[in-house]
């Protein structure tokens, strides 16, 4: 496993003064007023869950629309927690992607840039080949409906879900889930063919600001 060099992080630290951004993600309904409060507190982007275990999440969809209405003009994305199980009684990756995106498109103002697929251990069956096929089906359908596609995962989860050494999806952006409380890429080690993540989910289920009531996950990107 190759660590990002100290020099690379030094360059990042200097550049980050003007270029790095902090945001949050949530599966809950976040009101427009709360979105405004958090934007004023320095949060610049939002990612809402639009689909969870076979059902659309209308709270997340509305939160995306609320973020846009509150003035989030940059990154506003969506993520999907898929239905995947060993009983094989879930819709295909193609169908779940289509259901999630089609529902999103029905909501005025819920405009996004990218759909992220959550790939975390404990949620997927012990069948790497089937899991790989699901991910690729899902990705193909997302890309067919215009939004960009990315993957939310961590090294241990990715290996458990897709099998050791699998790198067949490294062409997509990675949202790295590592809850170390540090808003940067320190501690990152390559996996799955990714040399560097596009974003870091660095805290889980925390109050984002003392002046705002929202509890959510914190994210950071450069």
Residue 23 lies in a domain: no
- pLDDT of 14 reads 41
What are residue 157's DSSP bridge partners?
none
Split into its structural domains, the chain has a count of 1
The Cα 173–Cα 162 span in angstroms is 17
Residue where the block lists tokens 């660590």: 3
Closest to 79 measured CA to CA, from 180, 150, 157, 5 = 150
Residue 10 is part of which domain span?
6-15+49-206
- pLDDT of 16 reads 63
Residue where the block lists tokens 């170390």: 180
Residue 214 lies in a domain: no
- pLDDT of 195 reads 98
CA-to-CA separations, 119 to 6, 145, 150, 169, 214, in angstroms, rounded: 29, 21, 10, 12, 25
CATH code, domain with 63: 3.20.20.80
Residue 27 lies in a domain: no
Give the CB-side neighbour count of residue 82, counting CA atoms within 13 A: 31
Determine which helix (DSSP H) or strand (DSSP E) holds 189, and give its type and residue range.
none
Give the other-Cβ count within 10 Å of 116's Cβ: 27
Cβ atoms 206, 218 nearer than 8 A: yes
- pLDDT of 76 reads 98
Give the other-Cβ count within 10 Å of 172's Cβ: 21
Number of helical H runs and strand E runs in the chain = 6, 9
User: Each residue's pLDDT tens digit in the chain (222 positions)?
Assistant: 445 444 444 444 444 655 799 999 999 999 999 999 999 999 999 999 999 999 999 999 999 999 999 999 999 999 999 999 988 899 999 999 999 999 999 998 999 999 999 999 999 999 999 999 999 999 999 999 988 999 999 999 999 999 999 999 999 999 999 999 999 999 999 999 999 999 999 999 999 999 999 999 999 998
Residue 87 lies in a domain: yes
CA angle (25 as vertex; 76, 62 as ends), nearest 5: 60
44 CB-near residues (< 8 Å, 6+ apart): 21, 22, 23, 72, 74, 75
Residue 175 lies in a domain: yes
- pLDDT of 18 reads 59
Residue 75 lies in a domain: yes
Residue 118 lies in a domain: yes
Residue 155 lies in a domain: yes
- pLDDT of 87 reads 84
The bridge status of strand 199-207 relative to strand 215-221 is antiparallel
* DSSP code, position 175: E
The Cα 111–Cα 105 span in angstroms is 8
């Amino acid at each position: 496993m190759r660590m990002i060099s100290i020099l690379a992080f030094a360059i990042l630290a200097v550049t980050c003064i003007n270029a790095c951004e902090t945001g949050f993600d949530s599966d809950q309904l976040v009101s427009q007023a709360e979105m405004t409060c958090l934007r004023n507190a320095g949060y610049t982007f939002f990612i809402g869950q639009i689909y969870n275990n076979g059902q659309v999440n209308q709270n997340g969809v509305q939160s995306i629309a609320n973020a846009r209405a509150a003035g989030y003009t940059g990154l506003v994305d969506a993520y999907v927690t898929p239905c995947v199980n060993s009983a094989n009684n879930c819709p295909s990756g193609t169908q779940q992607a289509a259901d999630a995106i089609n529902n999103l498109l029905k909501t005025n103002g819920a405009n996004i840039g990218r759909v992220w697929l959550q790939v975390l251990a404990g949620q997927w069956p012990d069948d790497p080949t089937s899991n790989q096929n699901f991910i690729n089906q899902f990705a193909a359908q997302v890309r067919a409906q215009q939004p960009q596609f990315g993957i939310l995962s961590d090294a241990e989860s990715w290996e458990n879900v897709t099998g050791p050494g699998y790198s067949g999806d490294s062409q997509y952006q990675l949202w790295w889930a590592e809850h170390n409380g540090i808003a940067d890429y320190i501690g990152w080690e390559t996996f799955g063919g990714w040399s560097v993540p596009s974003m870091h989910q660095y805290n889980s289920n925390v109050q984002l600001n003392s002046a705002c009531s929202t509890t959510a996950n914190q994210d950071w990107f450069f």
